[in-house]
Structure 1
Amino acid sequence: MPTTKRTAAIIVAAGRGLRAGSGGPKQYRSIGGRTVISRAMEPFCRHPQIFAVQPVLNPDDAAMFNEAVSDMRYQPPASGGATRQASVRAGLEALAGQSPDIVLIHDAARPFVTAAVISRAIDAAGLTGAAVPAIPVTDTIKLIGDSGHVEATPDRARLRIAQTPQSFRYDVILGAHRRAAREGRDDFTDDAALAEWAGLTVATFEGDPANMKLTTPEDFVREEARLGAMLGDIRTGSGYDVHAFGDGDHLMICGVRVPHTRGFLAHSDGDVGLHALVDAILGALADGDIGSHFPPSDPQWKGAASDRFLKYAVDRVAARGGRIAHLDVTLICERPKIGPFRDAMRARIAEITGLNLSRVGVKATTSERLGFTGREEGVAAMASATIRLPWDDKGWSD
């Protein structure tokens, strides 16, 4: 079966993840600055051989899901069942109208799947009709009896750890799931086991040791540490912006409406604090400046809210696999007084960027009545951004 067949993917995200401890369903928790489910879904949404991504979730999680994956394209989510097996079947049934030839079934709790593993899954299903990614077992395994004593030591050379995405001919795995439902079998721990029960021969293909499932609190701690080690290219950028006063009764500064006797003369809302932060982030990325991404000659940015610009810069960091570590802005003006609004500004920047409040600094100073700010003709802002990017194989990020 050629790999040009229509391929869909099911992302199973209906579980509660109780073993992962407190904090809500594990698929919506943050790891490395992003939710687990967004990391798990994105490689499938971006893969050129996948035409449809079918999420399966608990309806109670709809708001969290929509927020986590708002920038991705996927099928309307299906409602999961009481077991993983029931949730997979719901996803398969939801795809019936799409007529896929191949379907990949992936756990949302595996956030580090790569495009290479997905491609291997598609190729394997095309060749065999049923296949799972597998990695060798490196530890010795013991078979323990009811008494707690060792009964056997399997040959680890023949043992493998099964992962997802598991890949199948769509019609075959759908038929197997429907048969299991008719016969009251709901105890299969993965789709390969169900396929084996249905009489299918299941092949294996090369998995990825990094493609591990997040199950316990210790898993989250370990992977956070691993991601931190990977993001070893630490960069800083600086930004500066200034806007003169014009007519108006308020100023937008760091995303907060500040009452004033004047307004800003600007193409957008004139938020000097956010503009300086955007340039600082883009500078750390070596990715131009705010004017090159949002030219003032473009009428669509007339009066635009500057939180859009800051969110765009944050997304540019995420697209490079990076994280923002710290943001700091200094506002320079005689009036308005920034102190009463400082906490609200920090909170608004944290909200826009998704950073913890402890990673956002806002300061203010005057110019001792010198220069245009001293004459109360406008406001200036300086900003710095610290970001972390992953190393590439040459020791420097691209």
Structure 2
Amino acid sequence: MSVSATTVHDNAWHVFLVFLRLGLTSFGGPIAHLGYFRTEFVERRCWIDDRGYSDLVALCQLLPGPTSSQVGMALGLGRAGWPGMLAAWAGFTLPSAIALILFAFGIIQHQGLVESGWVHGLKVVAVAIVAQAVWNMAKSLCPDQPRAVLAILGALLTLLLPTVTGQIAAIVVGGLLGRWRLTLSQQVISQAHVYPVSRKLGIVVLLLFAVSLVVMPLWAAVGGSSSWALLQGVYYSGALVFGGGHVVLPLLQATVIPSGTVSNADFLAGYGAVQAVPGPLFAFAAYLGAVAQGPLHGWLGGFVLLGVIFLPACLVLIGALPLWESLRHRQGIQTTIAGINASVVGILLSALYDPVWTSSIHSTADFGLALTAFGLLVYGRVPPALVVLIAALGGWVMSFAI
């Protein structure tokens, strides 16, 4: 048992300030965030030891939701209790969420902005960023033929059924086939660190999470409200993200675009913009809520959708923390998650084609800009925020050449 992980000996305000600094400076996506966290909390502040941190990262990678945000919430919980958990989430998330809501206001108030050259550059760079995510995820999550087949199957299912139903079907099929057909090598499991959450509370919260997945779509169907349908779709998007934050793209796309809540052009412009801000990719929900058509929009819509998309990740984290020791020893759970992760690579691959590619690449120049951005990201190791700025400038220059 780690004293730093189990004893509450700090106040939530201090936790908020520590995570606020990270929320303002943590560029580069979830993997980079985990590196920043390790430097800050293992090496510099000694909030947790290296083995405990590795255990925590392993747990959050197993769970649905944004891994880096869940690691941050768990660290806040261990440091300052429940207020610390909220403070860690708020400090890390609000800077990017507020920046994206302000960007949404710019799109709304200046209708021609979404058709401008630099915003078109944001749409084009989304192609490179999603392609990089598929590339990296395929290498780590589909390292063998069976999982590569599951990824292809997931892509085909979501292309044949381009709705949330198709994505859920791909996840379920991947999990079942992974459970029955995959064989993973045994990994050495270290001693777990315990967090201040009782086993009873964990079970209750997991039951609440499971019930919500059944009740919310029924509630949305019975109510017939577009707002309830939006909330349900965003909640499901947060609940079904395995393998990385970029997977939220096709889930949110299937929620807001077919219903007309957000236009395809606005969606891709926002997805490009979210790469240029620090913090979690899930902050994209704040942009969508702000730019949405309907009762939920503006500041209220942005903060409501931000809370809704993070809620399931928070619930499964609280539920899993006290059960982690027994969960991680079960081979069936490991193979199920491996199958799901392979399928979500396919889901993201299908999203790379539609809507990202089909909505952004209209000319040879567009393809050249996307290819350049991809090369800078993958081979040049250029920070994503800088690549986004380069692509925006490239789109602006190309607008004068047309």
Q: Does TM, scored on the shorter chain, surpass 0.5? A: no
| More helix per residue | 2
| More strand per residue | 1
What's the TM-score bracket when you normalise by the shorter of the two chains? under 0.3
